[in-house]
Amino acid sequence: MSGPARGALVQLALDLWEAIDLQPKPAVAPAHQALTAIETEAPQAGAALRHPQANRRIALQGVAVDYRLQRARRRSIGFRVDGDGLSVRAPGSASIGAIESALQAKAGWVVRKLAEQRDYQRRLEGARVAWGDGARLPYLGAPLTVVLDGAHRGAQLAPAGEGGAPATLHVPLARSATPEQVRDAVQAWLMRQARAHFTARLEHFAPLLQVRWTRLALSSAQSRWGSARADGSIRLNWRLMHFSPAVIDYVVAHELAHLRVMDHSPRFWDTVATVVPDYAALRQRLRDEPTPPWQ
């Protein structure tokens, strides 16, 4: 393989970068960049996840893969597999033959990642919450049941009981409340809990890492779990409250470590490991465990 194909860049979906990434979506390609449209018939049996903006089709290990090809100012061919499917970014000088040769060279990886994404999307749909009395969602890594109780003045958490009974959140709403009202009330409560929990963990890890954070902001971003700025500002996604405390600790430590090392060099990961030695396993859980969709 020669030219751009030799330098093919494989980019994992749900990877973590300087701001911890959920599922970033590439920008929509201008119309003049679109290639010949692929066939529009229904995908054949065994077809992989089809990108909603697909403009090319290729057979990889006997699987029809409809992918999005975008021309970009870059020196290598980049692959990305996320919830939409396969995206390929390639320099304008790269021929279709070179692009397809690069894809064939990574066929096993592409097909495997597409299968993983299909499974993840199924599990994501399974995590969707039916907002109402009795709704269940994960809270700090354990099940939480929502109870609509108009007698309460504010939302109250009842811890898990003996015998495995889940914790319950009593929300001051009538049982006739709309799903949107229930969702918004639970979100408001979760955001309050998130600020208190994140603040406590920032205060715990900052001295251990010998850094000083200046401000905490809660994020509702769909594409990032957290970020850090050189001035000590930390942003953390309130939806992290769905994960176990250990996973949250990893994200907090990750962002604080950026106040010492603003990249992902070996020195950065060595810094994270001083306070969260098992960060690699926790990082994988952050990638693999779907959280309830809130849209």
Q: What is the pLDDT of residues 115-155, one digit of tens each?
A: 888 877 777 777 788 899 999 999 999 999 999 988 777 88
Q: Residues 255-276, buried b or exposed e (16+ Cβ, 10 A)?
A: bbbbbeeeeeeeebeebbeebb
Indicate whether 114 pLDDT > 70.
Answer: yes
Domain 136-288 has CATH 3.30.56.10: no
For 103, the token pair is 């894809």
Ordered by start, the domain boundaries in the chain are 3-126, 136-288
- How far apart are alpha carbons 50 and 176 in whole angstroms? 40
pTM of the predicted model over 0.85: no
Question: What pLDDT, in 10s, does the model give residues 73-91?
Answer: 888 999 888 878 899 999 9
Provide the pLDDT confidence category of residue 41 given band limits of 50, 70 and 90: very low
Question: For residue 287, what pLDDT band results from cuts at 50, 70 and 90?
Answer: confident
If residue 209 lies in a helix (H) or strand (E), which one and from where to where?
A: helix 179-209
Contacts 24+ apart (CB under 8 A), 100-107: 100/58, 101/1, 101/5, 102/1, 102/4, 102/5, 102/8, 102/77, 103/58, 103/60, 103/67, 103/79, 104/58, 104/60, 105/1, 105/5, 105/8, 106/8, 106/10, 106/79, 107/60, 107/61
- pLDDT, tens digit, 9 for 90 and up, residues 53-78: 888 899 998 888 999 999 988 889 99
Q: Are 121 and 61 a contacting pair, CB within 8 Å?
A: no
Mean pLDDT over 265-289 rounds to 94
Contact 286, 251 (CB under 8 A): yes
Average pLDDT score over residue span 153-171: 82
Contacting residues for 203 by C-beta, under 8 A, at least 6 apart? none
